[in-house]
Structure 1
Amino acid sequence: MAKIVVFGAGGHAGRKTVVEAAARGHQVTAVVRDPAKYADLAAAAPGVTVVAGDVTDALSVTAVAAGHDAAISTAARMDVPADEFFTAAARALADGLAAAGVTRLVVVGIGTTLEVTPGVPIYDTPDFPADFRPFSLGHAAELDVLRATDERLDWLVLAPPPVFLDDEGPKTGAYRFGDERVPEHSGESFAYADLAAAVVDETENPRHHRALVSVAS
């Protein structure tokens, strides 16, 4: 049993990840901005504690992560420019986790940062919708920050396939890891429950290190 801190625990990926980790017997600290809005999260599974925290503030990250074995971030903000939020979060996680003595970090990324050909991510393809590009660029900037961190931070960004992410779909366990290329994927959707299982698998038993890796079925 491990102690795992999950940032962005109130979102779709965060909730599924909290429940998955707790179901495996881990002690989970679920970090949200306003715990009063997430009373149901603490009741979702045994071993879950909901606390207030700010993933973009290194001191806050240190305070909530201290004493944990690993960290997961599924955090996102739609009311803040993506490049500002994701780079601030990456820097705060790197600095805050180092101060807390936590070396393993698994981050949920986005499929549009995966490459269609070497050096060409989906968001740089000609037909990519302009409205979605800033959010993808924010995730790409986050990757740049993580790649520049001290090598003692064992980070991993897991990107689901660029398809509909299903909040209601059951966990199948039928997922596989790839690399930074767009993976072949069966079906038109991918379950958040399977994404959460992959995230917790990589938190429990790290196989990929300091890299962007796809996960698909």
Structure 2
Amino acid sequence: MSKIVVFGAGGRAGRRVVAEAVSRGHLVTAVVRDPARHRDLAGDRVALVAGDATDADDVSAAAAGHDAAVSAVARLDISSVEFYVGAARALLDGLARAGVGRLVLIGIGTTLETAPGVMVHDAAGFPEEGRAFSLGHAAELEVLRADGAGIDWLVIAPPPVILDEHASRTGRYRTGGPEVLPADGGFSYADLAVALVDEIEDPRHHRALVAVAP
């Protein structure tokens, strides 16, 4: 049994990470900006707390006493680059202060490569709004690579498609490197959560961007 702190626990991905971790017997601290909106998350094995993933003091306070952290954070009301860079820096700082060495982050498939050094969002005609959001994740990755030597971080990126919010958990997935993995079907939030919790229970990838696919 581990103690896992999940930042962004109120979102579609974060909720499934909480559920997956609890189903395996772990204790979870679910961190959200407004606990009043997510009271249903609290339970026997889940402590619901307020916190801002872009504030290193909040990160350190929420993460103290935990074995690993997950970042499933997202915001659409500010610049994606500003948000994800700020969150990456605060997470690295706060987790180091709290003594939490493992951080698994949910990435985005549009930062995976279609050729060496060429991300999905670099394709001609890629929607500008989607590219702007994806660039925030790319900037986050740059911060982790530059400043994350003290934390065993991992970014897990699902395929560059809309994830299935309602599909049941299968427990099956493949992993690769920073390149897009060919996939015939869609991928679910539930199985993305499986991949994240697997990497906490049995870390196999370290300080890297890793693609997952069905």
Which category describes the TM-score, using the shorter chain as reference length? over 0.9
User: Does residue 95 of the first structure (1) align with residue 72 of the second (2)?
Assistant: no
After TM superposition, where is structure 1 displaced by more than 2 Å over at least 4 residues in a row? none
Secondary structure of the corresponding residue to residue 164 of structure 1 = coil
Tell me what 2:187 maps to: 190
Deviation at 1:61, TM superposition (A): 0.3
Secondary structure of the corresponding residue to residue 40 of structure 1 = helix
Deviation by residue 1:92-151 (Cα, 9 ceiling, x = unmatched): 000000000001000000000000000000011113111211100000000000001242
Tell me what 1:13 maps to: 13
Deviation at 1:83, TM superposition (A): 0.3
TM-score scaled by length of structure 1? 0.97
Report the residue type matching 1:85 in the other structure. F
Secondary structure of the corresponding residue to residue 192 of structure 2 = helix
Residue in structure 1 matching 2:59, options 48, 58, 61: 61
Residue in structure 1 matching 2:116, options 115, 118, 122: 118
Deviation by residue 1:154-206 (Cα, 9 ceiling, x = unmatched): 0000000011201110011120111100111121x211000000000001111
User: Does residue 34 of the first structure (1) align with residue 31 of the second (2)?
Assistant: no
Secondary structure of the corresponding residue to residue 9 of structure 1 = coil
What is the alpha-carbon distance in structure 2 between the residues aligned to residue 28 and residue 153 of structure 1? Answer: 20
What is the alpha-carbon distance in structure 1 between the residues aligned to residue 193 and residue 110 of structure 2? Answer: 19
Greater CA deviation, 144-153 or 192-201? 144-153
Deviation at 1:152, TM superposition (A): 2.3
Deviation by residue 1:22-55 (Cα, 9 ceiling, x = unmatched): 1100000000001111111114xx4011100010
What is the alpha-carbon distance in structure 2 between the residues aligned to residue 155 and residue 195 of structure 1? Answer: 17
What is the alpha-carbon distance in structure 2 between the residues aligned to residue 107 and residue 177 of structure 1? Answer: 15
Q: Gaps spanning 5+ residues in structure 1: where?
A: none
Matches within 5 A, 1:144-163: 144-163=142-161
What is the alpha-carbon distance in structure 2 between the residues aligned to residue 150 and residue 156 of structure 1? Answer: 10
Residue in structure 2 matching 1:200, options 187, 191, 197: 197
User: Does residue 164 of the first structure (1) align with residue 155 of the second (2)?
Assistant: no
Tell me what 2:175 maps to: 177
Report the residue type matching 1:76 in the other structure. A
Report the residue type matching 2:57 in the other structure. L
TM-score scaled by length of structure 2? 0.98
Report the residue type matching 1:19 in the other structure. A
Aligned residue pairs, count: 214
What is the alpha-carbon distance in structure 2 between the residues aligned to residue 174 and residue 77 of structure 1? Answer: 29
Q: Gaps spanning 5+ residues in structure 2: where?
A: none
What is the alpha-carbon distance in structure 2 between the residues aligned to residue 128 and residue 51 of structure 1? Answer: 38
Report the residue type matching 1:99 in the other structure. R
